[in-house]
Amino acid sequence: MILQALNDYYRRKCDDPDPAQRLPDFGIETKEIPFILDLSADGELLQIRDTREPQGKRKVAQAFRVPMGVKKTSGVAANLLWDTLEYVLGVDTKGKPERVAEQHAAFKARIAALPAAVQADAGVQAVQRFLQRFDASALQSHPAWTEMLEANPLLSFRLHGDVELVCQRPAVVQAALNMATGDDDAPQAMCLVTGDVAPVERLHTAIKGVWGAQTSGANIVSFNARAFESYGKTERQGENAPVGRAAAFAYTTALNHLLRKNSPQRIQVGDASTVFWAERDSDFETALADIFGDPPKDDPDQGTRAVHALFGAIHSGKLAGPEGDTRFHVLGLAPNAARISVRFYHCLPLRDFGQRIAQHFKDLELVRGPHDAPYPSLFRLLTAVALQGKADNIPPSLGGSVVDAVLGGENSPYPRLWLNAAVGRCRAEQQVSYARAAAIKACLNRQIRLHPREEKEFLPMLDPDNTHPAYRLGRLFAVLEKAQEEASPGLNATIRDRYYGAASSTPVAVFTTLLRLKNAHLKKLNPGRAQWFEKLLGEVLSPVADFPAHLALPDQGRFALGYYHQRQDFFTKKPATDNAPETHPNTNPVGDLA
């Protein structure tokens, strides 16, 4: 299913009207080549052109479409008319002159093996003449030579006066296509992707760009041990999962395109490099990066606009028509030694996709401060529950599990690990932040949704009618803290800094002491304010029969949410004539999803 969807995406992108977005034909791939050797028709080197341009703090080379490279392991194998400095010029950069000599010989032999008609091409002849009389000493004065020796970069050739490279000349391109589809000793089998009988690709092109995987690339389809073989398919790895050459090229090219640098169709979700695409052109094909990704510093409202656009499409009925039937694919990949594991995969109509993302933000909807993002990004939600708020400390599988729950719909529970991590960070740091409270509310509400008769869902704002003991104790703790703050303005630390962890886990051991301290705090307030606190404390404590000895972890989440709601209610503007705690929360409703 995944390879078929990638193959279909490749076919669509091959016909893209934008040349910059169009994917190369079978037998051709896109490579960043830093240096181009500009040759005369006689094979004389006229200049070395540096194609790199500054992007931030580093230089990025220009990308060219070149004949598909061979898959290199520890052996010597040369590409056609492009390769590294050692292959192209035979210059040793690593202290292995004998191996470099073999590489250079293989590079020249690859050109010599071209059909006679191709070797008659003016560009190919210029390259052959250059290689016959090349002298490395002539390049030592070039400004980039020292850098080239250190980096062993990719090189290619261009005939002076041409716009395209020699390897892009029509005769060479046709030869590359013929070699890719040529009949050799490759076994014929039914392709598992297309269903056609075709030559089986033994070694698939490496997938690059997966965070944490080998920089040289890794594979989704590969076999290297007898334990993975079946039905006597032992001579060639590809026979175990036969994929035709054209289909193998298509899915690897499409996936590498989606995973490329600065791709608008890619985000990092925990340890999972996540890509997404639609079966047809859609405005939402690049929207997921804005919805789930962290907004850029120069445009902090980018994610908010993307979510509003999605809600607008839902409520306007845009997704109720043919566009809503467009199937949308989300694929999460994680490193696994020399291979890539599929962390998650979802394929569903864009209509359902939009509804489920909208439900996710409805579950997160919470009263918030003026500087809190109305639609927190997935990255912010995950780092909020990580140790020290660092992305490196996010539990490896958490991001993928959250995405699974989001795309699974409103009755798909969020991972328990998310709730555990959020509650644990609240207790460890004695702070219930907006992102943590939102995560706790979302997790609890989806659990409650599975058993609606036992408990009602939590509201975005303070719910005076919620009588759950843990929620009430959280509210109580917030009231006691507020009384202390008003009694002693300017305190560097409140009861939260000393007692929150114990109060949220073992209430009976803490609240008797806190209620005793409360009396001393209320004596410092004017009688009217003290009476208001006493009344509020009575309302909060009225459904609580006794302080429990222990609170289970979900109840610790309810405690945190009650504390957060009550604290936010204290800082919400009330009518000037009303001293009662009336709530006017600053929430961000997403509307009716029906």
| Phi and psi at residue 8, to the nearest 5° | -65, -40
Model confidence at 588, pLDDT cuts 50, 70, 90, reads very low
Model confidence at 118, pLDDT cuts 50, 70, 90, reads very high
Q: b vs e for 492-521, b when ≥16 Cβ sit within 10 Å of the residue's Cβ?
A: eebbbeebbbebbbebeebbeebeebbeeb
pLDDT on residue 445: 94
- Claim to verify: residue 209 and residue 125 sit in the same structural domain: no
Question: Does 10 fall in a domain?
Answer: yes
Question: Does 588 fall in a domain?
Answer: no
- Claim to verify: residue 74 and residue 124 sit in the same structural domain: yes
- Claim to verify: residue 296 and residue 418 sit in the same structural domain: yes
Q: How far is CA 551 from the centre of its chain?
A: 36
pTM greater than the 0.85 cutoff: no
> 3-state secondary structure string, 262-289?
CCCCEEEECCEEEEEEECCCCHHHHHHH
Tell whether the model's pLDDT for residue 48 goes beyond 80: yes
Dist. CA 94–CA 85, nearest whole Å: 11
H or E, element range at 11: helix 2-14
Model confidence at 181, pLDDT cuts 50, 70, 90, reads low
Assign 63 to helix, strand or coil: strand
pLDDT on residue 586: 46
Question: Does 259 fall in a domain?
Answer: no
* 334-353 per-position pLDDT tens digit: 888 778 888 889 999 988 98
Q: What average pLDDT does this structure show over 1-21?
A: 87
**Lookup result for tokens 């009716």:** 592
Q: DSSP states of 324-375 as a string?
A: GGSEEEEEEEEEETTEEEEEEEEEEEHHHHHHHHHHHHHHH-----TTS-SS
Question: Does 216 fall in a domain?
Answer: yes
- Claim to verify: residue 75 and residue 110 sit in the same structural domain: yes
- Claim to verify: residue 277 and residue 235 sit in the same structural domain: no
* 383-396 per-position pLDDT tens digit: 999 988 888 888 88
- Claim to verify: residue 359 and residue 222 sit in the same structural domain: no
Total residue length of the chain: 594
Which of 181, 196, 222 is a domain's end point?
181
Neighbouring C-beta atoms of residue 344, cutoff 10 Å: 20
* 454-479 per-position pLDDT tens digit: 788 999 999 999 999 999 999 999 99
Counting the structural domains of the chain, the total is 4
Tell whether the model's pLDDT for residue 577 goes beyond 70: no
Which of 387, 418, 450 is a domain's end point?
450
Question: Does 114 fall in a domain?
Answer: yes
- Claim to verify: residue 496 and residue 535 sit in the same structural domain: yes
Which of 164, 181, 198 is a domain's end point?
181
- Claim to verify: residue 110 and residue 189 sit in the same structural domain: no
Mean pLDDT of the chain, nearest integer:
86
Residue whose C-alpha is closest to residue 132's, from 108, 158, 100, 165: 108
- Claim to verify: residue 476 and residue 428 sit in the same structural domain: no
Q: What average pLDDT does this structure show over 289-306?
A: 80
- Claim to verify: residue 191 and residue 169 sit in the same structural domain: no
Q: Which range is least confidently modeled, 11-25, 233-247, 305-319?
A: 233-247
pLDDT on residue 225: 67
Tell whether the model's pLDDT for residue 582 goes beyond 70: no
* 251-269 per-position pLDDT tens digit: 999 999 999 888 889 988 8
Model confidence at 407, pLDDT cuts 50, 70, 90, reads confident
Full domain range(s) for residue 189: 1-15+185-251
pLDDT on residue 259: 92
CA distances from 573 to 365, 461, 465, 484 (A): 19, 14, 21, 20
Q: What average pLDDT does this structure show over 214-229?
A: 75
Residues 469, 544 contacting (CB under 8 angstroms): yes
- Claim to verify: residue 79 and residue 162 sit in the same structural domain: yes
Question: Does 342 fall in a domain?
Answer: yes
Neighbouring C-beta atoms of residue 118, cutoff 10 Å: 20
Tell whether the model's pLDDT for residue 578 goes beyond 70: no
- Claim to verify: residue 370 and residue 438 sit in the same structural domain: yes
Question: Does 21 fall in a domain?
Answer: no
